[in-house]
Amino acid sequence: MKTTLRALTEIRLRRSEEVPPGGESDGGCDHLWIPDTRANRERLLQAVEFGNRLHGPATHWIEKRQA
């Protein structure tokens, strides 16, 4: 029997300091880590795209860590 082990990862939305306080497109929840699932990643990618449209290129991104 073959077993494949996968490392569990978490992701969160991050924004640059260029984004003014109170102007967060993420509701100010960039400190919350969530499981890196397909649905969560798609949701965060949409938030990144929206935030970058509002505040400029590269102001929002997804951060990843091993859980």
Reported pTM: 0.77
pLDDT of residue 7: 74
Q: Which residue has the tokens 């939305």?
A: 13
pLDDT of residue 53: 96
pLDDT of residue 23: 54
- pLDDT (tens digit per residue) in 7-32: 799 999 999 998 877 655 555 566 79
Q: Taking the domains of the chain in order of start, what are their residue ranges?
A: 9-66
Query: Which whole-number Å values give the CA distances from 14 to 1, 31, 41, 57, 65, in the listed order?
Result: 41, 8, 13, 13, 13
C-alpha 22: how far from chain center: 18
Name the strands in the sheet holding 60-66, side by side, starting at the edge strand that comes first in the sequence.
34-35, 9-15, 60-66
